[in-house]
Structure formats: C-alpha cells, structure tokens
Chain A
Amino acid sequence: MEDYLNKNIKEILNQFPEIAGVLNDYNIGCVPCQAGSCLLKDIVEIHNLPLEEEQVLMARIAGVLYPGRETKIPRIIRKTGVAIRETSYSPPMKKLVDEHTLIKRMVALIPAMIDSLDLESEAGRQVIRDGIDFIRSYADKYHHAKEEEILFKFFDDNLSIIKTMHEDHETARAHVRAILKALDEKDKEGVSEHLKAYGELLSEHITKEDGILYPWMDRNLSITQVGELFARFNEKEQAFGTLPGKYEGLIENLEEKIIGNRLKEAVK
C-alpha cells in the first residue's frame, strides 16, 4: 500500500473510483478538486482524523485497492500530535478567513453577472471591469499575495498541498486574463465561460483553505511563527492603507447594481 500512499489522489480516483465514496464518508473533499495533485499520505495527514477513524479509513481504502486480500495498514506519520481539543484559527489565519468573506460575496455575484451580461453598453462593460479590479487588487494582490509572499514561505514549497494552492492561484489568474481578452473582443461567451470557471475554482479553493489548509497550517506553526506572521500581515495591510475599505464599497456597489437591478426587473 506504500506505493499508493505516494500517488496523487487524481490518479488513484481515476483507477479506483470507489475510493471517492470512502473519502466522502469522512468529509474528505478531494473528489471535486480540479488539481488532484495531493498525495494520498498527505491528504490523510492533513485531515487529522482521530487515530481509530484513520485506521478504519485506511482499511477501507486498502479493501478497494486489494479486494479480498489481507493488507498491512501503514500508519501515517504525523508531523504534529493529534488534536485533542478544539482551537480557533490563530489571529493571522483569521484575517485570511475574514478576507474570504468579501471574496465569497464577489463569487456569489458571478451567476447574476453572467445572466445580466451586457458587453454592448459602457455601463455593462464597467460592471465586468469593476469585478476584475476587485479580483486583481483585493483577491490577488492583497489576499493571495499575503499567502504566497508570506504564509506559504513558512512551509516546504514541495508539499503537494502548497503546490496545489499555487496552481489554483495561477489558474485563477489565467481565467482573469481570458475574461479581459474576451471583454476587449466583446466575446460574451468567452466572458461567461471564464467567469463561471473562476467562480467555481474560487469556491472550491476557499473551502479547501478554510476547512483544511489553514487549520493544518495552524497545527504546524510554532507560537513564534504565529507572532511573526501576524506582524508581517500587519505590515502588508498598512502598506495597502484604506484600499480594503474601498473594495468593500465596490462589492456593495456591484451587489446594488447587479442584484438591485434584477429585483427591480422582477417587480416590473
């Protein structure tokens, strides 16, 4: 079974689709992940199940990989002890989770943006430009930059989970470039397609971060590192000044424009 522990989850699920059901039973949300590059052993370690549950999970996976055979179930080496008590996010991690709240409001607007997409009028094109401004400046330069330039540097770049997060960020940036190109060409289908893909990617990405990555990082950061992270995030935020407030206002305006208009149409 050691060979499979060091395989990425996408390969394993392609070969043994049954394992998807096993993972879902433990709320391990790897099945819909577009990258799927995390190694099985890292996935089990990161989810930090109680030891008895982990053994049952591994036995069930072994049952799918080697049906009808008795297999030795390997223990996953944990870098930190099993959590025996609930802890909240550390303050720096909580800042990132709170920023996700605003990003999720943007993502929630995407279906309505697509439905009411208007590339003929300047006002219609400005809605898309405002959305892209938020994505590039707040979601990317402000939020993702804190992750890539500060948080991820506290961990080994070669970890599959870190690589997956980097890949997600790059894929998101590619969608944004594609949206802008389609906007220039007044290509409604292109804008819709990449907006939808961006929204789906970010939803999944945020779920992975809030539920798995950040708690795992918190378990692996020393108290000294938590303090350093907090101080460096503060410096980054001071450099941005009042911009985060500006983007909160931008989201409110977009919500008013996009959802407000739909409500008015529905009432007519």
Chain B
Amino acid sequence: MTQFEGCPGSRMVDLRDESSQEEITGKVKSQLKQWPIQMHLISPTAPYYQGANVLLTADCVAYALGGFHPEYLKGKAIAIACPKLDEGQEEYIEKVKSWLEDAKINTLTVLIMQVPCCMGLLHLAQQAAQASQRKVPIKAIVVGIKGDILSEQWV
C-alpha cells in the first residue's frame, strides 16, 4: 500500500539540484499586449479579444515554462485563472462563452499544469464551449512542474 502524500497541487518539491545546461543570454522581450489579464478583471469583448487566438492559462504556468512569452504568449490575447483557489468561477464560464459568441475568437488554447486541480480550467473551458452556439478549435497543453510539455491535444 502506498503512503498518502497529500494533494499533488500543494505538495512540496525541491528542484534546486536540477542543473540547467543552458546559459540565458540577452533580454527576452515581453509579448504581453493587454491589461488586465486576471479572469475576474477582463472584459471578454475588449478589442484585443476580437477574432483573436486566446490563451487561457493557469496562474502557475508562466513560472514553470521558461519560454512562455516567445513560445506561447506571442501573438495571442491572454487571461489567467486558478481553478483551485479562485472564487466565483461561474463568471469564468460566462466570459469564455462571451469570447466565443461575442468576441468571436479564432481559437482557444488552454495551458494548465500537470497537477490534478488544474484540469478544472480545461473543464471550465469545455463547459463554456458546450453551452455556446459557436464553436472554435480548442487546444489543451499540459505543462510539467519542470517546464516540460507533457501533452498537447486538440480537444
């Protein structure tokens, strides 16, 4: 019988021994083209969402993914949320639905961490998509806590 190790989302992991082979050279340019970004604060019909490729990302992703700005954020509009700790997430479903129907976004990419609680963000996006008359391609990308991409699937 395995010992219960607690919630994977908040379990302590020490990664200091992981040596980084790469040297970071040069400044990485920010690809953020909007404000606000937190899901409770955004207006889904803001101009930068109109017809856009939208990135709905869990709060922790940008810290785990070294290349977040150039590889994932570039060219996209964004919103961030925590499916475990944020309150009032019914509003999130309505906002995603509004992206689809009012802002008529082009695609939705949902970026989440590998921890089980993060899956809630994808479920939220899927709920909104099911309730919406208008459909768009939705991609789900799961990021490991070491910054590796564990899966990338069209939903």
Q: A21 within 8 Å of B by Cβ?
A: no
Number of chain B residues close to chain A: CB under 8 A: 16
Q: How many Å lie between the Cα of A263 and that of B44 in the bound state?
A: 59
Interface contact A230-B149, CB-CB below 8 Å: no
- Report whether over half of chain A's contact residues are helix, strand or loop; otherwise say mixed: helix
Given A90-B137, A234-B135, decide whether A85 and B151 contact each other with a Cβ distance below 8 A: yes
B40: which A residues are within 8 A, CB to CB? none
Q: Give the nearest-CB partner of B75 in chain A.
A: A224
Alpha-carbon separation in the docked complex, A91 to B154 (Å): 7
Given A223-B107, A227-B137, A234-B135, A89–B149 Cβ distance below 8 Å? Answer: no
Residue of chain B at shortest CB distance from A229: B137
**Residues of B contacting A85 in the complex (Cβ-Cβ under 8 angstroms):** 149, 151-152
**Who on chain A is nearest to B137 by CB?**
A91
Query: Contact between A88 and B154 (Cβ–Cβ < 8 Å)?
Result: yes
A-B contact count (CB 8 A): 41
A89 touching B154 in the complex, CB below 8 Å, given contacts A223-B53, A223-B109: yes
B139 in the interface (beta carbon within 8 A)? yes
Given contacts A85-B149, A91-B137, contact A227 B154 (CB under 8 A): no
B143-155 toward A: CB 8 Å interface, digit per residue (1/0)?
0000001011110
Identify 27 residue pairs between A and B in the complex whose beta-carbon atoms are under 8 Å apart, listed by A's number. A85-B149, A85-B151, A87-B152, A87-B154, A88-B153, A88-B154, A89-B154, A90-B137, A91-B137, A91-B138, A92-B137, A223-B107, A223-B109, A223-B139, A224-B53, A224-B75, A224-B107, A226-B107, A226-B137, A227-B107, A227-B136, A228-B106, A230-B136, A230-B137, A231-B106, A231-B136, A234-B135
